[in-house]
Structure 1
Amino acid sequence: MKLSDFSIKNYQFTLVIFFLLTAIGISAYQNIPRTEDPYFDISAFRINVIYPGADPREMEQQVAKPIEDALRSLDDLKEMLSTSRNSGGVVFVRFNAEVDVDKKFDEVNRELNSIRDSLPAGIQKLEIERINPGFTNIIQYSLVSETASYADLANYAEDLSEAFERISSVRESESWAYPEQQVRVSLNFKKLAELGLQAADVARVIQGESLNIPGGPVEEGARRLNVQTSGQYRSVEEIRNTVIAGTGTGGDLGGRLVRVGDVADVQWDYENQEVMARFNGQRAVFVTANQKDKRNIFVTQKALQETADEFEKTLPHNIKLERGFEQYKNVEKRIDRLTFDFGLAVTLVLITLLPLGLRASGIVMVSVPLSLLTGLACLYYAGFSLNQLSIAGLVVALGLLVDDSIVVIENIARYLRMGYNRVDAARLATKQISLAVLGCTATLLFAFLPLLMLPDNAGKFIRSLPVAVVFTVIASLFVALTIIPFLASRVLKKEENEHGNIVLQKLMGLIDKIYTPLLHRALQTPKTVVTASLILFVASLGLAPLMGMSLFPKANTPQFVIEVGLPPGSSLTATDTVVKQVENKLSQFDEITAVMATVGEGNPQIYYNVFQQDKQSNVGELFVQLKEYNDDTPKLLDTIRGELKTIAGANLIVREFENGPPIDAPIGIRLVGPEIETLRELSAQVERIMLATPGTQNVDNPQRTGRSDLRLKVNFEKAGLLGVNSAELDKAVRLAIAGANAGEIRQSNGDAYTISVRGPAGARSSLSALDDFHVIARTGQAVPLTQLTTLELDDNLNSIYRFDRERAVLLTAYTRTGYNTEKISNEVARQIDEMGLPTGYRYKMAGEVKSRQESFAGFGTAILVTVFGILAILVLEFGSFKSTLIVLFVIPLGVTGGMVTLFLTGNSLSFTAMIGFIALIGIEIKNSILLVDFTNQLREEGKGLDESIEEAGRTRFLPILLTSATAVGGLLPLALQGGGLYSPLAWVIIGGLISSTFIGRLVTPVLYKLLPPDLQRT
């Protein structure tokens, strides 16, 4: 081949290229971003709505449905979900994975803006939030103190957060879990009634006085001055002295002015505490930070640590900074482990090369760092990071990248043993094998390239793995056809022993003693051999139902969360009591180093596919940090689950982090139909089925119980007679109980705080706030609220869930250790089918089943592209369909070994296992190409059919064995220590290579005899 001839002849240029690739690779390694998981855009958005006072039905009809109707016409819409709760809700929209996320964000924003004016005026918040794994926090620190005020904790937390945001690689830093400081105006309803004033009057006056409206500029001589009118409170005393004016009997009663301080207590206070947090049982506030895209987590972490160290020096003695979670430790451990695997793999590869001799092995080993560095440089310049998937891709490539070099160097050594000098041996041997090497590499690339086209978020998640393999294998091909021939022409011995070194002689002796007679016997009964191989293939497929299917495995990180859910309507105090019980249970385990508990909402996002729960008084979450993740961790988690069962009155879910796209829970059933009551009845029946199915735990039915609310029933007849407007009455009651924001107070340092007008301080958020509450009648008379209303207990829905614009209920469950999610889901579905659903109602599988269907949907296309792409290459290379068929027949042989190995190692048919099967197709076909191509060459030289088959089988057995052994050696550490994500992929390829190497070396020659191809090439 001209390329190899050029590299040998112009060795100086080849040396320059060698050092250039090395330098570029080293530079890329130093600069490539390092992250725990790959970054990818999720084409989904979350619309958060706060609508105070609205019940779930009002939220659904007045807010959720209009938003759904506005968004339904957008292109590429995949699904739409909404949850309507008391005083708010969420609408979730997901588009096809490959859309332009920024463009879709603009489209969603445009549609929402078009309907804002038609939505209820009482909506306080309507915002769009991107679902972005890049916003995952890489640290979670805690400021801990039992004695410091929340104001001090908040100030220090904000200072630390601002310091973190000054780091160039930090995207955002936030502080969490403390009530904001505010000025509380606690009204005295009795005094207001005596003076004939209403609570709304006070709020209206304060709000008006706090406005800062510029008076405009004036010119005074040569100077231009801005006129400032009154506005913007700067002290509590100013609020107290504000004169109440407006409706009613006004601001001068009995010859004196009525000020805010006369009818209210005005003090600095905190807003109602909706969220609280603890670190290892002590009161705390959290500070988190996330990293900008394509940055190095180790560089970012160093800057964060230095900033935190300096900040810690400024803390008072009663506040302590605790570093609860730092993601870089997970990344560091993964890289260290995979670096060890890499070193072990290199050692195993080196051992397998001993038959080639030390010099030849050394030349082949040059291709390892050179190909990896070149592949790494391509990754870097293509915008990928060094993460757990790309690292795994490099380890997978390690076992493959030496294949081309082995084939080339082995053929060169064979030519040297035949008596050629080094330069001629390098030129002629490379030329003879170059077409087969190109074909082998092309088939391997076609096995991995379709993986780049896998759809949905699962395809995005694994994309860096096949990219790493493709780049590295292309680099290895270039090295094999340029650097290797050049080095061989300079480094190999000038004369080779005709029989090779002692290792080669022993190995060839075994080949002659075992393989050659077996091949000769197989050629005598070709049909029997082919039939037996097909029987083995069919039998291996029968293992699939026994293994079951799964999506992505556990992440095996030393962190997990415990989700706490109490019945709807539970108070924050009740939730806190349960969370404290969980903390006490966890304190007995020495394996736990830190427990970060949040009450009232979920923990800040610290894993890319687990998002923070919304604020609700009945939810909580504990983020638990372990010393390490090891083989005993699953047992520890099961023990914790057992301990938590003793805590009554709450749904407690121990949730491990999992790889792959986000899912609600492993098992999910979505009931869809028009009527809420019917859905509640059906969900109760399905819940019983799920509870009774072996292997389920933490079954959750959001419609299991409703909630009870107190309703103030207005006597409209009395209210009308007295001239009391019911809408104004509703607003007044809300102000009395929940309060209302009435402007801001701005201190001299520029900090602004909310002014909150509400009922008496001791009675806020309780019914006692209404004891002295009066409304002003048309006559100016103060009428007690109790004369116009009666209290009633009202049963209400906890929430209304909608799926694709239809009402629905989503029931979820988790899988017990040792059970297969697919089998449990199938059993639940079977029982629902037997139960039957009324007309107009149906169910859909959710959870892992749905996610797997979406993720595996692209495998059919990937396999078709792989097979037909390889078919096209083989037809182009051989110019014969018979040769192509002979080569392709090795595929079922590899599948046989892959299925058996997967079954013996206790793995299921997971997403990564399926990737392994696709990759295996290209890897195993390489070996058959070498055999069929050499057989054709021998026949073209005039040798007989059987003689050519046997000589080709014997001659090519060694390079095929060596390439398979290096691939197995490279993948073995990944299979043994790669965890649930990589191990299935590695075991599939290892098992497939073993079966295709040994069985295929008999079946391929036999099939060649049955279907001898035409020797004319195109």
Structure 2
Amino acid sequence: MQLPELAIRNHQFTWVMFLLLVLLGVVSFFTMPRSEDPQFDFSAAMIKVVNPGTTPLDMEKLVVDPIEDVLNELDDVREIKTDIEDGLAVIRIEFLYGTNAEDKYDDVVAAVARIRNELPASIVALDIDKISPADVSILQLALVSEQADYSELKKHAETLEQQLERVAGVKRVDIAALPALEVQIQIQQRKANALGISLDSIAAAVQSAAQNLPGGHAHAGDRRFTVRTSGDYESLEAIAATVVRAEGSRIIYLRDLAHITLAETLPGYRARLNGEKAVFLAAVQRKGSQIFQVRDGMETVLQNYQQNRLPGHIRLDVVMDQSLSVARQISHFFDNLNQGLVLVAVLSVLVLGLRPALVVVAAIPLSIFIAIGWVDIAGFGLQQMSIVGLVIALGLLVDNAIVVVENVSRHLRDGDTPAEAAVRGSSQVAWAVASGTLTTVLAFLPMLLMQNGSGTFMRAMPVTVVLTLFASLLVALTLTPLLASRLGRSDKIPLAQRLLMRVAGGSYERHLNRALQRPGRVLSISVLLLIGSLTLFPFIGVSLFPKAEKPMLLVNIDMPEGSSFDQTDAMTARVEALVRQHPLVVDIAANIGRGNPRVYYNTMPSRQTVNYAQLFVSLSAHELAQVEPLVATLRQQLVQIPGAQITVKEFLQGPAVEAPVEIRVLGEVLSDIQQVAQQVTEQMEQTPGLVGIDNPAGHFKVDLHVQINRDKAALLGIPLSTIDRTIRTALVGTPVGLFRDSDGEEYQLVLRLSEYSSPQLQTFADIQIPTAQGTLVPLLQLASLEPETSIARFQHFDTERMARVTADVLPGFTTEAVTNDLVARLQQLQLPTGVHFTVGGEQANRKEAFGGMAKALLLTVMGIFAVLVLQFRSFVQPLIVFAAIPFAIIGALLALFFTGFTFSFTAFIGLTSLVGIVVNNSIILVDYANQMRRDGMTVMEAIAAAAQTRFVPIVLTTLTTVGGLLPLTLSGSGMWAPMGWAIIGGLLVSTLLTLIVVPVLYRMLAGKTAG
């Protein structure tokens, strides 16, 4: 007993099974995770090391080289990239795809821990974070106030952080732009010099008094007492009362030499929202949670806090709310899905008639809801990739229902009862439907095997398509026959179907007969069409992923090396004022000294220096037609501001890249690398289409080198470490202990000079160094100050020194074209020995992604060929079926050329999908022709009869597939329109040519087949 007959006889069980499956899908739809982009992890980690006052070359030698050496010993390392600048090193390590993200992160932590003691003791921060696209802020808030001080803002920020982190689905809340507080012991250097007291002796006195050493315990009879000793400091007054020197009856206290205050550290990161002082809070969604539920939970907390806890002079504003974008995207995609459903329904009614069309249309929502339940079980949430998978599947899943319903309708017209027609009609085509579904699934399945970033990013899409197709197969072989058995007899053929049948028996038959008489001419014309379409490829261009249609921008401000924090702040305010003039701008979050908190899955803030700032600009529109003119205008205006390098960055789809165009200059000698990097910059400036050129290695800074007279220092018994430590204490301060206040808060005790509010050159005149005899010697008697020029920033790539030169691409230019133009220019350069360049950015990602897709396409073809060999028991007939694939390429290229889209990664996915879709039409023709030959027809009669009989279902399945994709395609999305046009164009052209060329090939090769 076959599955359709089983489903009809056990109809009660069938109804219950589908009711449960659909119920699972409905529940999953409302509860499954929702996010803007795919939430996935891959094996990568970022190590950030902060060591203030350390030159880039010293950072490389003391910090980067030891860490890179130990990381390079780990297994499965794919690449290591490092950015090095003054006092900061950011090391990113990425492992091969398919490795366990948690295990590799643990390996990185363990490797760094092994060498931690070998790294400089002056490191103030060493953080190791997992790089996860899912760790994106879904909500960025700002506590804004000009009246409140940072201690008050800190209290509210930390309270909000605790309350928000209790909300279900919130992974963590990060506080940004909140300056650290410290207890500053500001020494009056001249008074200390006059008393002969060195900074070292003051530091020793404070460190000794700040220690908290437990005294142990003592017994008195049967009782045991814990012994408390002096303990640590309990108040600022206790710090001030520290004895620095006691000579006879004269005691010198710390308060005699210093001011002790609880104050902010030297400015390193400050923020503003629309020009007002702000502290940011960024909430990260827990993986697998539902963004709308998380947002509702946070909104309850925020409203309660604003009403009951927040004073009137502090405002709580929303800087970025990702749930709005998710709602817009989901609404947009489901609009496309609903519109596609309506189009498919209309086409089905016109061609099949009302009753059969009802059965076909009923299969669509049933298959989709069943698939949604399975997608949820598979661990994939509802986001743009999975929804697009549903849209793609919409046009495919009706094919099964159409084939079954049409065959059942034919049996009804032949006089069978509804039950008999349902059983016989569905059973006859059960294997054809199953094999057709399998070949389509094989087209998408290899995408799951792509071991690269693009494959991981897209994975939810093929999973959704495959599960939806299997759901449609289940519906077609069980529920569709059951519904068809209740259909009743209908002899009336719809008008549209009669018209198609008239075309099949009229003009199509005439053209087919002519083609069968002239097979050579037909094949020659087809080959010329294919070659002609391939010549369009250079005009179409190649790209990876398009710009993200987001209502936000980033503006990066790079001040000259050596600029102070105040200079960067002033320049940021100037740029803010200019950007704010544009009506499309809603909010501007200014970050001085660091990048904005992470708000997009493929960007991460990494720079952390006083001469850098970043503006996060929120816009009132997301359409590229409105955003790109604003970007062009801003670039024209900002480039005219002297004294800073200002770049406007748009968000991009797909895996993370530093910039669309990236040239890596690698070598060992920094001066040679800098020279070549400057030549690359000059060539970029001459390449049309490039903008926002950045050459970090081209930035220089002037350092002051303290040239110590080592002989004189040795004669006076002064260790070099004492000189270094004293200079650091005088300029930026040295931690000498911890202070815990009455609320339990801990603060660093920092010893520094008080003559100037910030480190000044004049400070060197006041610095005195203790000799071995205890006397003080002016520093400038032991050393001289010599200016020297050094590199400000450079990078490593796989432990090799590198300068990374990057650029953005102007609208109207393709990244592939301008990159190739630039590379052609660079190949003419005479490079120094030991220096070479490689291409990174989008082109490197594209080659990796397209290489993975090419392997997927090859696996697809081999898998489908194997299925066809099993079905036809022939090696020749599958080749006839495969003749449809080149014609799909013709249509795809023509569609992209006329619509103006490039051959992007999503267009490549469309082409891969076509391989599985278009062969089904050929299968229908060849399979039916074989049946006719087995019934006694000649080759010519069999293929002619098969082509005419299958003309209507082939045209109908093509039209429904096109109808399902049309709304998404016409939406104009830079991401999905190329895929839609590739599938639609390829399907239309391949259908037209398949109806002619496949019969011609069948006629020519029939003698070599079993028939």
Deviation at 1:283, TM superposition (A): 1.2
TM alignment of 1:439-518, pairs within 5 A? 439-490=435-486, 492-497=487-492, 500-518=493-511
Aligned equivalents of 2:619, 2:592: Cα separation in 1 = 21
CA contact (8 A) 2:188 2:755 kept: no
Aligned to 2:334: 339
Letter in 2 for 1:691: E
> What is the DSSP-based 3-state SS (H/G/I as helix, E as strand, rest coil) of the residue aligned with 1:123?
coil
Matched, 1:1004 2:998: yes
2:767–2:778 Cα contact (<8 Å) kept:
yes
Contact 2:547 2:652 (C-alpha < 8 Å) held by counterparts:
yes
Q: Which residue of 2 aligns with 1:677?
A: 671
Shift of 1:1015: 6.8
- Determine if contact 2:672/2:835 at 8 Å carries over to the other structure: no
2:803 pairs with one of 806, 809, 812? 809
Q: Which moved more, 1:219-228 or 1:752-761?
A: 219-228
Task: Give the aligned partner of residue 330 of structure 1.
Answer: 325
Deviates more, 1:738-747 or 1:986-995: 738-747
Alpha-carbon offset, residue 504 of structure 1: 2.1
Q: How far did residue 222 of structure 1 move? A: 7.8
Structure 1: distance between partners of 2:227 and 2:850: 68
2:101 paired with 1:88: no
* Greater shift in the superposed pair: 225-234 or 779-788: 225-234
Q: Does 1:288 align with 2:282?
A: yes
Q: 2:90, 2:606 within 8 Å by CA — same for their partners in 1?
A: no
Deviation at 1:646, TM superposition (A): 1.9
Which stretch of structure 1 is more off in the superposition, 715-724 or 911-920? 715-724
**TM value normalised by structure 2:** 0.97
Taking structure 1 as the reference length, the TM-score comes to 0.97
Cα distance, 1:978 vs structure 2: 5.5
Letter in 1 for 2:371: G
Moved more, 130-139 or 795-804: 795-804
Cα distance between partner residues in 1 of 2:516 and 2:882: 19
User: For residues 636 and 799 of structure 1, what CA distance do their matches in structure 2 show?
Assistant: 31
Shift of 1:780: 2.3
Structure 2 residue corresponding to 1:436, chosen from 432, 438, 443: 432
Q: Within 1, Cα distance between the matches of 2:627 and 2:640? A: 21
Structure 1 counterpart of 2:305: 311
Q: Deviations over 1:459-504 (max 9, x none)?
A: 10000000000000011011111110111011x222423xx13332
> Which residue number corresponds to residue 154 of structure 1?
154
Residue number in structure 2 paired with 1:985: 979
SS at match of 1:455: coil
| Match in the other structure for 1:568 | 561
Q: Which residue of 2 aligns with 1:604?
A: 597
- Indicate if the aligned counterparts of 2:266 and 2:758 stay in contact, CA closer than 8 A: no
Q: Secondary structure at the match of 1:445?
A: helix
1:73: how far off?
2.5
Q: Deviation per CA, 1:490-549: give whole Å up to 9, x if none.
A: 1x222423xx13332233223333322222222221221122111111111111111111
Structure 2 equivalent of residue 247 of structure 1: none
- Partner Cα separation in structure 2 for residue 483 and residue 98 of structure 1: 39
Deviation at residue 175 of structure 1 after TM alignment: 1.2
Give the whole-Å Cα distance in 2 for the aligned partners of 1:83 and 1:509: 70
CA distance in 2, matches of 1:131, 1:437: 44
Matched, 1:352 2:347: yes
Query: Deviations for 1:378-420, whole angstroms, at most 9, x for unmatched residues?
Result: 1101111111111111111111111100111011111211222
How far off its partner does 1:797 sit? 1.5
In the TM superposition, what are the counterparts of 1:584-595 in structure 2 within 5 Å?
584-595=577-588
Q: Distance in 2 between matches of 1:844 and 1:566?
A: 28
Q: How high is the sequence identity, in percent, across the aligned residues?
A: 38
Matched, 1:864 2:858: yes
Correspondence for 2:736: 742
CA deviations 1:98-148 (Å, max 9, x no partner) are: 111222122222322332333334334333222112211111111111121
CA contact (8 A) 2:672 2:832 kept: no
Tell me if the contact between 1:763 and 1:769 (Cα under 8 Å) persists in the aligned partners. no
Cα distance in structure 2, aligned partners of 1:362 and 1:275: 63
Unaligned runs of at least 5 residues, structure 1: 245-250
- What's 1:248 paired with? none
Does residue 170 of structure 2 align to residue 170 of structure 1? yes
Match for residue 21 of structure 2? 21
SS at match of 1:475: helix
CA shift for structure 1 position 718: 2.7
**108-117 vs 359-368, greater mean Cα deviation:** 108-117
Contact 2:38 2:134 in 1 (8 A): no
- The reply on whether 1:34 has 2:28 as its aligned counterpart is no
Q: In the alignment, which residue of structure 1 is the partner of 2:917?
A: 923
Residue 2 of structure 2 is matched in structure 1 by 2
SS in 2 for 1:834: coil
In structure 2, the partner of 1:56 is: 56
Could you tell me whether the CA contact under 8 Å between 1:760 and 1:769 is conserved in 2?
A: no
- 1:763 Cα deviation (Å)? 4.2
| 2: CA distance, partners of 1:353 / 1:657 | 41
Distance, in Å, in 2 between the alignment partners of 1:814 and 1:219 is 75
Q: Please give the alpha-carbon distance, in whole angstroms, between the structure 1 residues aligned to 2:800 and 2:74.
A: 18
What is the Cα deviation at residue 1013 of structure 1? 6.1
For 1:594-743, what aligned pairs fall within 5 Å after superposition?
594-630=587-623, 631-743=625-737
1:540 maps to a residue whose letter is S
How far apart are residue 954 of structure 1 and its match? 1.6
Q: Indicate which of 906, 909, 912 corresponds to 2:906.
A: 912
Instruction: Evaluate the alpha carbon distance shift between residue 383 and residue 577 of structure 1 in structure 2; reply closer, same or farther with a 3 A threshold.
Output: same
In structure 1, what is the equivalent of residue 988 of structure 2?
994
Task: Give the direction of change, closer, same or farther, for the CA distance of 1:540–1:220 in structure 2 (3 Å limit).
Answer: farther
Describe how 1:225-236 pairs up with structure 2 within 5 A. 226-236=226-236
Equivalent pair of 1:143/1:319 in contact (CA under 8 Å)? yes
Q: Is the 8 A contact 1:178 1:273 kept in 2?
A: no
C-alpha distance in 2, partners of 1:898/1:222?
A: 93
In 2, are the aligned partners of 1:775 and 1:785 still within 8 Å (CA)?
yes
Pick closer, same or farther for the CA change 1:576–1:764 going to 2, 3 Å.
Answer: closer
Aligned AA (2:315): K
Moved more, 817-826 or 520-529: 520-529
Do residues 409 (structure 1) and 402 (structure 2) align?
no
Give 1:351 deviation, angstroms.
1.1
Could you tell me how far apart the structure 2 residues matched to 1:605 and 1:217 are? 51
Give the number of equivalent residue pairs: 1008
Task: Choose 10-19 or 893-902, whichever is displaced more.
Answer: 10-19
Q: Pairwise mapping of residues 913-992 of structure 1 onto structure 2 (< 5 A)?
A: 913-977=907-971, 979-992=973-986
Distance 2:41 2:201 in 1: 50
Q: Residues 862, 320 of structure 1: CA spacing in aligned structure 2 closer, same or farther, 3 A cutoff?
A: same
2:769 aligned partner, one-letter code: V
Distance change (3 Å), C-alpha of 1:872 and 1:220? farther
Shift in alpha-carbon separation, 1:375–1:623, aligned structure 2, 3 A: same
Instruction: Specify the SS of the correspondent of 1:793.
Output: strand
Give the letter for the 1:340 counterpart: D
Give the distance between the partners of 1:671 and 1:243, measured in 2 at CA: 57
Q: Deviation at 1:844?
A: 0.4
Asked whether the equivalents of residues 88 and 608 of structure 2 are also in contact (C-alpha less than 8 Å), the reply is no
Decide whether the 8 Å contact of 1:172 with 1:290 is kept in 2: yes
Change (3 A) 1:945 1:735: same
User: How far 1:218 moved relative to its partner?
Assistant: 5.2
CA distance in 1, matches of 2:587, 2:630: 15
The residue type paired with residue 707 of structure 1 is K
- Corresponding residue for 1:539? 532
Once residues 570 and 446 of structure 2 are traced to their aligned partners in structure 1, the CA distance between those partners, rounded to angstroms, is: 53
Q: Residue 882 of structure 1 contacts residue 1013 of structure 1 at CA under 8 Å; is this kept in 2?
A: no
The answer to which of 84-93 and 474-483 deviates more is 84-93
